Amino acid sequence: MSGIRITNLRKSFGSYTALRGIDLQVPNGTLLALLGPSGCGKSTTLQLLAGFESPTEGEIWADDVLLSSPRGVLPPERRGISLVFQNYAVWPHKTVAENVAFGLSIRRLPKAEIAERLTRALRTVRLESLRDRYPSELSGGQQQRVALARALVVEPSILLLDEPLSNLDAHLREEMRFEIRQVHDLLGITTVYVTHDQSEALVTADRIAVMKAGAVQQFGTPEDVFERPANAFVARFIGSNNELSGTGEGEGSIRIGDRVLTAPDRSGVARGGSVSLCVRPSKVRLDDDGGLSCNSLPGTIVRSAYLGEHRDVLVDIGEGRTIRAFVPPERRYGPGAVTTVHLPIDACQILAPSA
Amino acid sequence: MGVISTSSRDAESRPVMARVPLVKAAVLGAVILLLALLVVQPFGWVLFNSLHDDATGAWTLNNYARVVRSAELIEPLVNSLILAAATALIAVGIGVPLAWLVSRTDLPFRRTIRVLTLTAFVTPSFIGATGWILLAAPNSGWLNTAWRWLAGEGAGAPLNIYSMAGAIFVCGIYTVPYSFTMVSSALDEMAVELEDAATTLGCGVLRTMVSITIPLAAPAVIASFILSFIQGLTLFGVPAFLLTPTGIPVVTTKLAEFYQLFPPEIYLAAAYCMPLLLVTGALFWMRRRYLGRKQYVTISGKTRAGRQIRLGGWRWPALFLALLMPLLSVFLPYAALLLVSLTRAWGQGLSWENLSLYWYWWAIFGNSETHTAIVNSLVYSTLGATLCVALGTLVAYIVERRLMVGASLLGAVATVPIVIPGIVLSVGFFAAYTRAPLNLYGTPLLLIAAFAATFLPIAYSHGGSILKGIGPELERAARSLGAGEARTFLSITLPLMGGGLVSGWFLVFIPIIRELSVAVFLITPKTNVMTTLIYNAKDGGNYEAVCAMSVLLLLITLFLVAVARPLAGLTGARRTSRKTATAAGVPS
């Protein structure tokens, strides 16, 4: 196994720049999630890691082996990096066993060892009974496990997962998340996991790199990116978020319309620059006065939706701005009711728009 | 413990480079060389020759000047255009209504009509012309005889197949299947929802047809018109059989004439190819442009059976009209050929004593010339189709997976023969391979290469469409597990292409075995094939033998078509369910 070091990685396709210089360090045995909306460059990063594309600039290292640089690229078959594809890419003309054993036979291992490792891999993903089936006879989840077994059986030094769960139904997806994490804990392979689903990233990853427009917005632990987002984009992308944009007033204040609100300032933006005040809907309180220090604003209820575990209330605070609040489900609000919105200062953050 | 076996290097920042991929380089080199030999070179020689003087070998524009100035050379051009336009009109005028009847109405025996149209499709038109000579030759033609029997001895002979009208008729009925197939598949693939949407908005059956169905099928109709036009322009066999005897020249037969002169006017012939190339090239360009803009041709939804239009009382009259086509293009000429081939001596009339399989025995075993031609046809077609599919598939792979810089140029080269009429390609191959150092004249290799080159565009586009259905992830998965490019191609891509390649092989084999115009200048007595033998023998007057050979060729072709369809579907059916292949092909 090896750690990954990516330095100043850039990739352009003609006039389109997919990656604008990213730096990432993935320690040996870590599970890194590359998280971002489509077109953010996460899949390009994965293709570069796998060796299917060559970088325009920058380098990729596995420990002290240089894998990719603009001067040359170690071909995919010589990297020891396994890849699990979004659509599984299970070969339809090979049985489950043939699929999984392919990488082993490429390595010309003795027959006995191939058989032994194959059986072990199939057992790990609970597919022993299906070994002679063809992929067309398997469900999506089973094909997914074939792809995983095929990638793991060759004992790669790095495992890449490209949106591995996005083709599964919601229920199965939730289950497979934990399974992937479990396999990682068991084998400890350095893993890069590409996803656009924040909850997948939060559940599985040791580290998350949030990407947007070819640049890393934030690189940190799941707690970091959720609780201390580096900018308004990250706050918006991970979890639900209220964002009020305005201008920095300095010393932890932000001017929004004709109001000035206070919050811890982590924007690093000079006074007068454009910043946003971000607060999670779950922290927003309505009506009651908890006695905490809050930014309090008058508002009118626009709509209220009952979601079982909480009530999702949208409040108009004037000047075309709204605030979403998750409040206890037993509290009822009718549209048009007048209320007061409290934004606890500790839960608010003043952030720059994006990197 | 890593699997990376490469020893780690010090900070010298250069990746451990791949070995020079020797296999890949060799394959790419071979493909480029073959394309140069099969396409670039022959075509280049045509161009080169057209600019040189026959006698002195000096550069000159004289050949072109002669083409433009001489009325004798303009006339065939005009005749060709007339033939082409009339052919296209017949093809579209009959093919489109027929397609609509079969695809959209409750016409009885729709499947039968489809099968019969396919039969006409694979019938070489020069064999159809042979059949029609028996049916409608002035005076002696059976239909003329029948007419005299009906209308009295003095009625004369109304039909003369040896005329422009005759040639147009034969070209037309054998081109109908082209427009029929294109338009009916457009109608079949059209999403029914598009029509249903109109119906739910209150559109009647007729209104829906006029404002939705017909406009949606229009691109296919126009494309089939252009294709039929090209067909009429480039056909060689039919005008050679029907127009040459009456002295009406067209471009293709005029080209053949240059080769029969002594000394042959090869350089003038080269220049004379250019107007033909110009027209076909322009037509293909138009078709491409037109289809490129009308992207909606390919719009298709769930293709369930469309709503059928009830013909009511028109069912049977419509069936009668629909059966007229197979009657003219299949039943009558096939019957004529079959009857003549089964008589010992046609001149003695039809009687039980005169019926025999003698000429079949003669063609297959008795006569060494025909025996050789049959064997040659089978061997050359097999090898030619194999070479063609192998090369076309490799080019398609290189293009689809962008294995080299300028890959799309290779694709363009592989597509070029589609605009080159067979007779022009024949001129090119003659020019390229009858001189040192590549003098292949008289060898089977020359014909095999020419056949492969002619149908390379089919193999290439077929290979490309198969590859488009195989997601690159399937290959990348193999690469990331340690398989090199060659290994990946052999163990993943090729098996996945399997069934498609088999059908592609037949798709090439069938037109090769019935191809006449490409072979016509390239054969020698030793390398004669069935088509050229029929072409050369029909002047000899031995009609029984010609018919027997024609029927044999038809039987081989029809047999192969019958075998090819289920076979292509069968290969790998158990393993590769279509569903998974497409599911795996979904781009991320």
Residues in contact with B107: Cβ distance below 8 Å, sequence separation at least 6, in sequence order:
B101, B113, B311, B315, B318, B319, B322
Classify strands A259-262 and A274-279 as parallel, antiparallel or unpaired: unpaired
Same domain for A223 and A236, yes or no, is no
Same domain for A53 and A146, yes or no, is yes
> Which of A204, A227, A250 is the last residue in one of the domains?
A227
A92/B575 CB distance under 8 A: yes
B193, part of any domain: yes
Average pLDDT, integer, range B33-62: 88
Q: What percent of chain A has pLDDT over 90?
A: 52
| Nearest chain A alpha carbon to B481 | A103
pLDDT value, residue B356: 84
Name the strand (E) or helix (H) holding A327: strand A322-327
Report whether B400 contacts B468 (CB < 8 A). yes
Of the pLDDT bands very low, low, confident and very high (cuts 50, 70, 90), residue B298 is: very low
Of the pLDDT bands very low, low, confident and very high (cuts 50, 70, 90), residue B575 is: very low
B579/A135 CB distance under 8 A: no
Same domain for A79 and A178, yes or no, is yes
B445/B523 Cα distance (integer angstroms): 11
Report whether B83 contacts B250 (CB < 8 A). yes
Of the pLDDT bands very low, low, confident and very high (cuts 50, 70, 90), residue B296 is: very low
Same domain for B448 and B519, yes or no, is yes
Same domain for A244 and A302, yes or no, is yes
Which residues in chain B are closer than 8 Å to A157, comparing Cβ atoms? 2-4
pLDDT value, residue B265: 82
Average pLDDT, integer, range B481-486: 88
Report whether B549 contacts B110 (CB < 8 A). no
A163/B2 CB distance under 8 A: no
Per-residue pLDDT for A55 more than 70? yes
Per-residue pLDDT for A232 more than 70? yes
Chain A nearest C-alpha distance from B15 (Å) = 5
Average pLDDT, integer, range B210-230: 85
Which residues in chain B (456-495) have CB-CB distances under 8 A to chain A? 471, 473-474, 476-484, 487, 491-492, 495
Chain A nearest C-alpha distance from B287 (Å) = 30
Instruction: Locate B156 and state its tokens.
Output: 């004369």
B6, part of any domain: no
Same domain for A93 and A177, yes or no, is yes
Give CA angle at B305 (B301, B310), nearest 5°: 130
Per-residue pLDDT for B388 more than 50? yes
A48/A73 Cα distance (integer angstroms): 9
Average pLDDT, integer, range A184-196: 92
Same domain for A253 and A199, yes or no, is no
Same domain for B28 and B138, yes or no, is no
Same domain for A152 and A108, yes or no, is yes
Cα–Cα distances in angstroms (integers) from residue B344 to residues B348, B351, B374, B545, in the given order: 9, 10, 21, 10
Same domain for B455 and B531, yes or no, is yes
Q: Is B149 exposed, middle or buried (0-12, 13-18, 19+ CB in 10 A)?
A: exposed
| Nearest chain A alpha carbon to B471 | A89
Instruction: Locate B150 and state its tokens.
Output: 């009906």
CATH number for the domain harbouring residue B520: 1.10.3720.10
B15, part of any domain: no
Report whether B506 contacts B564 (CB < 8 A). yes
Q: Nearest-CA neighbor of A109 among A159, A153, A149?
A: A153
B8/A106 CB distance under 8 A: no
In sequence order, what E strands does A221-292 have?
242-250, 253-256, 259-262, 274-279, 285-286
Q: Could you give the count of Cα atoms lying within 13 Å of B317 in the half-sphere of its Cβ?
A: 4
Which residues in chain A are closer than 8 Å to B24, comparing Cβ atoms? none
Of the pLDDT bands very low, low, confident and very high (cuts 50, 70, 90), residue B17 is: low
Report whether A110 contacts A137 (CB < 8 A). no
Instruction: Locate A28 and state its tokens.
Output: 């040996």
Same domain for A206 and A288, yes or no, is no
A87/B8 CB distance under 8 A: no
B588/A162 CB distance under 8 A: yes
Q: Which among B14, B478, B588 is the nearest to A163, CB-wise? A: B588
Structural domain count, chain B: 2
Residue-level length of chain B: 588
Chain B nearest C-alpha distance from A252 (Å) = 43
Chain B nearest C-alpha distance from A269 (Å) = 38
Per-residue pLDDT for B3 more than 60? no
Residues in contact with B288: Cβ distance below 8 Å, sequence separation at least 6, in sequence order:
none
Q: Nearest-CA neighbor of B546 among B131, B121, B124, B245?
A: B131
Chain B nearest C-alpha distance from A59 (Å) = 9
Structural domain count, chain A: 2
pLDDT value, residue B20: 56
pLDDT value, residue B171: 96
Chain A / chain B CB contacts < 8 angstroms: 152
> Which of A227, A259, A291 is the last residue in one of the domains?
A227
Same domain for B185 and B286, yes or no, is yes
**β-pair partners for A254:** A248, A261
Judged by a CB distance cut-off of 8 A, whether residue B579 touches chain A is: yes
Chain B nearest C-alpha distance from A62 (Å) = 10
B561/A250 Cα distance (integer angstroms): 82
Dihedral angle of Cα B527, B528, B532, B537, to the nearest 10 degrees? 150
Which residues in chain B are closer than 8 Å to A89, comparing Cβ atoms? 471, 473-474, 476-477, 584
pLDDT value, residue B190: 74
A353/A268 Cα distance (integer angstroms): 11
For A207, the domain range is: 4-227
Angle between the N-to-C axes of helices B368-400 and B494-513, in degrees from 0 to 180, rounded to the nearest 10: 140
Chain A nearest C-alpha distance from B564 (Å) = 21
User: Residue B409 is which amino acid?
Assistant: L
Per-residue pLDDT for B335 more than 50? yes
Chain A nearest C-alpha distance from B22 (Å) = 14
Same domain for B42 and B130, yes or no, is no
A234/A52 Cα distance (integer angstroms): 29
Radius of gyration for the alpha carbons in chain A, expressed in angstroms and rounded: 24
Q: Which among B9, B18, B473 is the nearest to A85, CB-wise? A: B473
pLDDT value, residue B293: 56
Which residues in chain B are closer than 8 Å to A86, comparing Cβ atoms? 473, 588
For B246, the domain range is: 70-301+315-331
Same domain for A161 and A268, yes or no, is no
Classify strands A259-262 and A253-256 as parallel, antiparallel or unpaired: antiparallel
A102/B487 CB distance under 8 A: no
Name the strand (E) or helix (H) holding A18: strand A16-26
Of the pLDDT bands very low, low, confident and very high (cuts 50, 70, 90), residue A81 is: very high
Per-residue pLDDT for B587 more than 80? no
Q: Nearest-CA neighbor of A349 among A215, A234, A212?
A: A234
Of the pLDDT bands very low, low, confident and very high (cuts 50, 70, 90), residue B268 is: confident
Residues in contact with B182: Cβ distance below 8 Å, sequence separation at least 6, in sequence order:
B220, B223, B224, B227
Same domain for B44 and B74, yes or no, is no
Q: Nearest-CA neighbor of B59 among B50, B69, B67?
A: B50
Q: Nearest-CA neighbor of B470 among B535, B407, B393, B388?
A: B393
> Which of A227, A260, A280 is the last residue in one of the domains?
A227
**β-pair partners for A84:** A161
The DSSP code for B147 is H
Of the pLDDT bands very low, low, confident and very high (cuts 50, 70, 90), residue A103 is: very high
A135/A141 Cα distance (integer angstroms): 11
Q: Which among A59, A72, A91 is the nearest to B17, CB-wise? A: A72
Instruction: Locate B39 and state its tokens.
Output: 């396409």
Q: Which among B473, B476, B482 is the nearest to A103, CB-wise? A: B482
Q: What percent of chain A has pLDDT over 70?
A: 98
Which residues in chain B are closer than 8 Å to A97, comparing Cβ atoms? none
B337, part of any domain: no
The DSSP code for B212 is I
Q: Mean pLDDT across chain B, nearest whole number?
A: 84
B492/A67 CB distance under 8 A: no
Instruction: Locate B340 and state its tokens.
Output: 């003549």
Same domain for B158 and B287, yes or no, is yes
**β-pair partners for B533:** none
Average pLDDT, integer, range B457-476: 90
Which residues in chain B are closer than 8 Å to A91, comparing Cβ atoms? 474, 477-478, 492, 496
Q: Which among B473, B480, B487 is the nearest to A82, CB-wise? A: B480
Instruction: Evaluate the omega torsion of the peptide bond into residue B511 and state whether it is cis, within 30 degrees of 0.
Output: no
Q: Which of A194-208, A217-231, B202-216, B231-245 has the lowest mean pLDDT?
A: B202-216
Own/partner long-range contacts of A330-337 (Cβ < 8 Å, ≥24 apart): A331/A286, A332/A304, A333/A286, A333/A301, A333/A304, A334/A301, A334/A304, A335/A301, A335/A302, A335/A303, A335/A304, A336/A300, A336/A301, A337/A300, A337/A301
B202, part of any domain: yes
A276/A273 Cα distance (integer angstroms): 10
Same domain for B28 and B126, yes or no, is no
pLDDT value, residue A289: 59
pLDDT value, residue A48: 94
Q: Which of B34-38, B48-52, B435-439 has the lowest mean pLDDT?
A: B435-439
Q: What percent of chain B has pLDDT over 90?
A: 35
Per-residue pLDDT for B12 more than 50? no
Same domain for B573 and B445, yes or no, is yes
Of the pLDDT bands very low, low, confident and very high (cuts 50, 70, 90), residue B295 is: very low
Q: Which one of A45, A63, A66 would you mutate to disrupt binding with B, by most B Cβ within 10 Å of its Cβ? A: A66
Same domain for B226 and B350, yes or no, is no
Same domain for B441 and B509, yes or no, is yes
B280/B274 Cα distance (integer angstroms): 10
B4/A154 CB distance under 8 A: no
Average pLDDT, integer, range B412-434: 88
B141/B255 Cα distance (integer angstroms): 29
Please name the residue that has the structure tokens 């199939």.
A122
Which residues in chain B are closer than 8 Å to A78, comparing Cβ atoms? 4, 6, 16, 18, 482
pLDDT value, residue B299: 42
CATH number for the domain harbouring residue A258: 2.40.50.100
Average pLDDT, integer, range B429-436: 86
Same domain for A251 and A187, yes or no, is no
B417/B430 Cα distance (integer angstroms): 15
pLDDT value, residue A292: 66
CATH number for the domain harbouring residue A157: 3.40.50.300
Q: Which of A296-310, B196-210, B516-530 has the lowest mean pLDDT?
A: B196-210
B484/A62 CB distance under 8 A: no
B16, part of any domain: no
Which residues in chain B are closer than 8 Å to A1, comparing Cβ atoms? 1-2
User: Residue B42 is which amino acid?
Assistant: P
Of the pLDDT bands very low, low, confident and very high (cuts 50, 70, 90), residue B491 is: very high
B62, part of any domain: no
Same domain for B429 and B514, yes or no, is yes
Which residues in chain B are closer than 8 Å to A66, comparing Cβ atoms? 9, 13-16
| pLDDT tens for each residue of B498-529 | 878 888 898 899 889 989 989 988 988 899 99
Of the pLDDT bands very low, low, confident and very high (cuts 50, 70, 90), residue A34 is: very high
Which residues in chain B are closer than 8 Å to A90, comparing Cβ atoms? 580, 584
B10, part of any domain: no
Instruction: Locate A224 and state its tokens.
Output: 């970091």
B16/A66 CB distance under 8 A: yes
- Of B192 and B586, the structure prediction assigns the larger pLDDT to B192
pLDDT value, residue B1: 36
Chain A nearest C-alpha distance from B578 (Å) = 9
Instruction: Locate A176 and state its tokens.
Output: 């497979």
B480/A77 CB distance under 8 A: yes
Classify strands A31-35 and A190-195 as parallel, antiparallel or unpaired: parallel
Which residues in chain A are closer than 8 Å to B583, comparing Cβ atoms? 87
A92/B16 CB distance under 8 A: no
Instruction: Locate A337 and state its tokens.
Output: 């009711």
